[in-house]
Each structure stands twice: as structure tokens, then as C-alpha cells.
Amino acid sequence: MRKIIGLAIGLAIAMTTAAHAQVSLDAAHPTAIADILNWRGEKQAKGFRDIEHIFKTNTVKRGAKVHRLPVAAKPIAPTFTYDGKTWTIDAYMQAYRVSGLLVLKDGKIVLEKYALGRKPTDRWTSFSVAKSVTSTLVGAAIQDGKIRSIDDPVTRYVPELKGSAYEGVTVRQMLMMSSGVKWNENYTDPNSDVAKAGGSVTEPGINPMVSYLRKLPRANPPGTKWNYNTGETDLVGVLISKATGEGLAQYASEKIWKPYGMERDAVWMTDPGGQERGGTGISMTLRDYARLGLFIAGGGVAHGKKVVPNWWVADATKREIDNGLGGYGYFWWIRPNGAYEAVGIFGQSITTFPNEHLIIVQNAAWPAAGGKELSAARNAMLEGVRAAVK
């Protein structure tokens, strides 16, 4: 498991390095998205909670009512052993620069803590946790009849891909990161696809990522091999917008934020074409991260209405393909013990243990984007929380 999460976070680094795929608000002194990797200390903590003041975003509007998260009568105070020492949650948060930690057991808050100057009303950027939101919006579009079937070809919804290596690739295969299209995800290589894709509008009227991806060759038959592909995550976001006729921020507001009762507006970073990025850049409060986890754990139901098909959550959060790390669903990482999680670099995660009715949310400003030791400490914390609620 340590290896799985370490690699998951390492791979997710590429989600922040896709050229200049965000739009800096300060045109005179633009901030490249890759600069985030070098933020440290207070600059990092402030930047993660104020991302909408650095990059262009669209607003995911909340509704009039808030989904209540009751506080349990008995809070927990977990301790756990890691690296030969006994840790409290406070010590863990201080050592690993955790800005927020929230635990829901049976839908009730049993632990909620903040640090790094963060308040409960402050948003925090998601990094690759956004991919799992994008996946959920695919489910919503299927429920709405905007996407006819998960086995539809992507060219039905993004016709600009006709005649490319994406011909014959299905929506399902995209969500499994198994399109078979050749893609170099090496974020240390300035000539890799992830470094060059989507940085500017090169074909007017065509999304920058679509423009780049449709020129790539095929490497494997569709559906046969998992290959982490940042560009395709954004491409799925484009597909949703084309299918629904709405931006991701607007659609997420209509399908999740308003009906489920998120407590505060979220913001979602956009690319140079004005499209919200399907794979990164949502900012929300700690409690709204928890509500997102609860929404999925409840089958994607909001106020008694199904937002996604009956089968969606079960399929999306189970092992759909072997990724050599444990398993991958539809933009969800699958742990060997049956838990599933959304993961982002620098310590962002929503981890759900469905059989235990347990959701653990962490936001952090780790001193590095990822790494085995950071992941191992988080895993030890997760196990400490599990033991505390039994």
C-alpha cells in the first residue's frame, strides 16, 4: 500500500506540470502552474487556500441550503505508531504540514482540526482530487441522458477527434486511462507530452488539449493497458462540457453543490481556452471535501434524487483495470482492502472505507509533492483513525 499511494501521488505530480495550462491573473508577472511545485512555507499555505487570486477560475455556486454534518457525541483522539514513535493527531499535523483533517463516522464528525492559519471557511486547492469530481459528472451526464452510454465512442461527443488515434476509444476506456494513445507523462522531461500539452490556443475554436491530443499516435489497442495520462483527464472534462452544453463549474453546481448542500462556493481553474480543467484545480472547504465523500458513499443521491445511475458509484469505485499498483476505477484509486480514494499531490485525499462507513479527509502542504515517507506517514494516520473508531 505504501508503494501504491507513493506512486499515485508521484504520478499525480504531472497534473500540475502540464505546461502553462492555467491562466495567470497577473499578466505582467505571470505565474506558471509548475511554480506551485516550488512553493514552500507560508507562500505555499497561502497559495493553496487563495488559488483564485493567482489563476483564473470559474465559480461552482452553492445553493440556499447546507447539508448538515452533525458532530458526534464522542470525538476521537487517535494515536498511532510510525517510524518507531507514538504520534498524536496534533503532532502528525504539525510534522506533515496538514492544514485540515476531518473524519466522518456514520455521517457524523468525530474529528475536525485545522492548522497552517486555515479557518473552517477557507478553501483549499484539490490538485488531482478533481479527477474524481470529473468522473462523477460523467455519471451525472449519463443519468441526464446527455451521454447515452459509457461505452459510446468519445468521438460522438468530441468530433474534433475523428480520424485521430482516439477513433474507436470509448468513454469508459478514457475513465480507466486506457485509451491506448501514446503519451509521455515524464514530468521531469521538458519535451514530454505532459510538459507541452494544452499551453495555448493553437487552433481557434478547438480546446488546446483537444488540439494537442488529436495529433498523437496510437501505442496500444484501446482498453488493454493502463497509462496515466494527464491530457485525457482534461479531455474528459471537455467531453462533459460538449455533451451537456455547460462548463464544468456550472454543471458541478447544478448536480452536486446546490442539490447536495455544499456550504460554500468552490472555484475551478481554467485552461487558456476558458475550459475548466478536468483533472485539477478545484478549491473547496474541508467540510465540503467531506460532503463530497459522503455524497459518493451514499450512491450519488441528493435530497432523495439520483444524480448518477444506480450502478455508477459501485463501478467507478472498484478495480476496473490493473494499473500495476493495486487497481484503478473511473478516476478513483482503489486500495487492496476495498477502500477507494481521490488523491492529489502535497497531501490532498478523500479516503473512504465503505464497509466501515468511514471517510477521512486530509488537506496539506507537504514539503514535497509526494514521496514514500510522506505516504507512509499518511497511511499510518489512516490506520490509527480506523482503530480509534472501532
d(CA 74, CA 219): 54
Please spell the DSSP secondary structure of 287-313, one letter per residue: HHHHHHHHHHHTTSEETTEESS-TTHH
Whether residue 208 contacts residue 21, with contact meaning beta carbons closer than 8 Å, is answered with yes
d(CA 196, CA 187): 10
Q: Residue 15's closest CA among 255, 264, 278, 242?
A: 278
Q: What angle do CA 290, 296, 302 make, to 5 degrees?
A: 95
Q: Residue 58's closest CA among 261, 324, 266?
A: 266
Please report the pLDDT score of residue 105 as a whole number: 98
Mean pLDDT of 144-159: 98
287 grid coordinates: 467540510
- Coil, helix or strand for 292? helix
Q: Is the predicted pLDDT of residue 18 greater than 90, yes or no? A: no
237 grid coordinates: 472534462
- Where do the structural domains in the chain lie, given as residue ranges? 2-147+247-389
d(CA 305, CA 237): 24
Q: Residue 298's closest CA among 308, 289, 284, 288?
A: 308
105 grid coordinates: 463516522
As a whole number, the mean pLDDT across the chain is 91
Cell 494544452 belongs to 198
Q: Is the predicted pLDDT of residue 2 greater than 70, yes or no? A: no
Please report the pLDDT score of residue 349 as a whole number: 98
59 grid coordinates: 465559480
**What are the pLDDT digits (tens) for 194-238?**
878 887 888 999 999 999 999 999 999 999 999 988 889 999 999
Cell 477557507 belongs to 122
Please report the pLDDT score of residue 325 as a whole number: 82
Task: Give the bridge partners for 341, in sequence order.
Answer: 333, 351
Please spell the DSSP secondary structure of 195-247, one letter per residue: HHTTSS--STTS-HHHHHHTTPPB-S-TTS-----HHHHHHHHHHHHHHHSS-
Cell 474541508 belongs to 286
d(CA 152, CA 91): 49
Q: What is the CATH number of domain 2-147+247-389?
A: 3.40.710.10
Instruction: Name the phi and psi angles at 221, rounded to 5.
Output: -60, 140
Please report which confidence band the pLDDT of residue 191 belongs to, taking 50, 70 and 90 as the band edges: confident
- Coil, helix or strand for 341? strand
270 grid coordinates: 481554467
The residue type at 318: K
Percent of the chain residues past pLDDT 70, beyond the cut: 91
How many Cα atoms are found within 13 Å in the side-chain-facing hemisphere of 249? 22
Please report which confidence band the pLDDT of residue 358 belongs to, taking 50, 70 and 90 as the band edges: very high
Q: Residue 26's closest CA among 59, 56, 57?
A: 56
384 grid coordinates: 490509527
Contacts of 205 (CB under 8 A, 6+ apart): none
Range with the poorest average pLDDT among 193-197, 205-209, 255-259, 310-314 = 193-197
Please report the pLDDT score of residue 308 as a whole number: 98
* Strand 98-105 relative to strand 340-344, pairing: unpaired
Mean pLDDT of 249-273: 97
Please report the pLDDT score of residue 33 as a whole number: 60
Please report which confidence band the pLDDT of residue 337 belongs to, taking 50, 70 and 90 as the band edges: confident
Q: Is the predicted pLDDT of residue 147 greater than 50, yes or no? A: yes
Whether residue 1 contacts residue 326, with contact meaning beta carbons closer than 8 Å, is answered with yes
CA separation (Å) from 343 to 12, 69, 111, 196, 279?
Answer: 8, 23, 20, 24, 11
